Amino acid sequence: MSDNESTTLTPLAQAASIPVPPADELAGRFPLHPNPTPVTDQQREEHLASLSFGTVFSDHMAYARFTDGQWQSHSVVPYGPIALSPAASVLHYGQEVFEGIKAYRHEDGSIWTFRPRYNAARFNASARRLALPELCEDDFVASLVDLVRADAQWVPSAPGSSLYLRPFMFASEAFLGVKPAHTVDYYVIASPSGAYFKGGFTPVSIWVTTDYHRAGRGGTGAAKTSGNYAASLLPQQQAYDNDCDQVCFLDDVTQTTIEELGGMNLFVVDTDGTIRTPRLTGTILEGGTRSAIITLLTSKGYTVKEDTIILSELTAQLQAGTIAEIFACGTAAVVTPVGRLKSETFDLEVPVGELTPQIHRTLTDIQYGRVEDPFGWMYKIC
Ligand SMILES: Cc1ncc(COP(=O)(O)O)c(C=O)c1O
């Protein structure tokens, strides 16, 4: 494997660089069945005036069902409860994958999303690992287009806000045998969300767990599937118990190298200007934000290494003062500085540097259309 992604695009980054047909061409693949009882304008405005994350949902959801060997019933339907057999195999064996992507409102009122083909390709990579059927990538993007166009009024305009989109598919077949399901349901739901950092850029504290692992070799760590998150909840609780915000996982074989957080990738900036991020070993999720940051920094002339980051070396470097900053990244927060690294055996302060806020500014300026998008990452929905 190359150390530097600027010379080798991963399959996901390659997929993301293939142009997506314009939204007008994709629109209508998921025909709208309007919600007869949408929330009132006043209720929606109230929701949009007090945004949090993942608690309020828009009036519609996109839907398709895989049955008889093909995807069918593509539609945008009223948001509401899902009728599911108690024997649906997802409830027993966890055959599910999901994605997270945002729709951003620009100053002129238009609505855009960020690298949707990346998420489409990752959704299918996750589906393959979970023995779920793949969804045509254009249909994945079309489902976002049709849902966001139906619920465009739900895309907030407050600074740093967005409409968070959650595509997911799961085994809905009612069958208790342990085997891949023949019936699978796909949905996209949408939740208006507020700025991650409300009162400025707050560093997070990280608990490095040595008791638990998120993923193992040959397992599902590289897939975005519910079981990985279920496995991360107890160590996340351990992080809270140790006065930390997030949990960081080590590799399961040597238990010495840093992998990722429960829901974000990590970058380390050395005082000599080198930037490192854990290489993709098959046990970590290949984040779209991670990929964009590698491209962005490489284009600015930085050396970005996808590397093996050994925890004991990192803590020694922190003590010696040769770490300039550490940051985490993901769709929700974009980037967040790490201010403290803690485990059973150490508790270290991490310096907060200049690069993290610069990356945050550059990425969000592109996402909100405040600057030109030199990488062709933005996709206009309407
Ligand atoms: C385990 C994990 N790692 C990394 C990420 C960051 O990925 P992305 O930048 O695509 O949001 C996420 C969030 O989706 C995640 O759940």
Determine the Cα–Cα distance for residues 221 and 224; give it in Å rounded to an integer. Answer: 8
Ligand 1 pocket check for 278: Cβ under 6 Å: no
Instruction: Indicate if ligand 1 lies below 6 Å from the C-beta of 287.
Output: yes
Cβ of 283 below 6 Å from ligand 1: no
- In whole angstroms, how far apart are CA 92 and each of 14, 89, 187, 227, 233? 35, 5, 19, 11, 18
Q: Of ligand 1's atoms, which has the minimum distance to the CA of residue 232?
A: 1
Q: Which of 248, 264, 294 to mutate for ligand 1's pocket (most ligand atoms within 8 Å of CB)?
A: 264
> What are the respective helix, strand and coil percentages of the chain, to the nearest 5?
30, 25, 45
- The position carrying tokens 């290494």 is 305
CB atoms near residue 346 (< 10 Å): 13
Answer yes or no: is the C-beta of 337 below 6 A from any ligand 1 atom. no
Cβ of residue 156 lying under 6 Å from some atom of ligand 1: no
The answer to whether residues 206 and 242 touch, using CB atoms and an 8 Å cutoff, is: no
Separation in Å, CA 102 to CA 37, 38, 255, 304, 381: 25, 22, 34, 26, 11
Residue 180 Cβ inside 6 Å of ligand 1? The answer reads: no
329 alpha carbon to ligand 1 midpoint, in Å? 8
Per-residue tens of pLDDT for the chain, all 382 residues: 334 444 478 999 898 889 999 999 999 999 999 999 999 999 999 999 999 899 999 999 999 999 999 999 999 999 999 999 999 999 999 999 999 999 999 999 999 999 999 999 999 999 999 999 999 999 999 999 999 999 999 999 999 999 999 999 999 999 999 999 999 999 999 999 998 776 668 999 999 999 999 999 999 999 999 999 999 999 999 999 999 999 999 999 999 999 999 999 999 999 999 999 999 999 999 999 999 999 999 999 999 999 999 999 999 999 999 999 999 999 999 999 999 999 999 999 999 999 999 999 999 999 999 999 999 999 999 9
Q: Letter for the amino acid at 278?
A: P
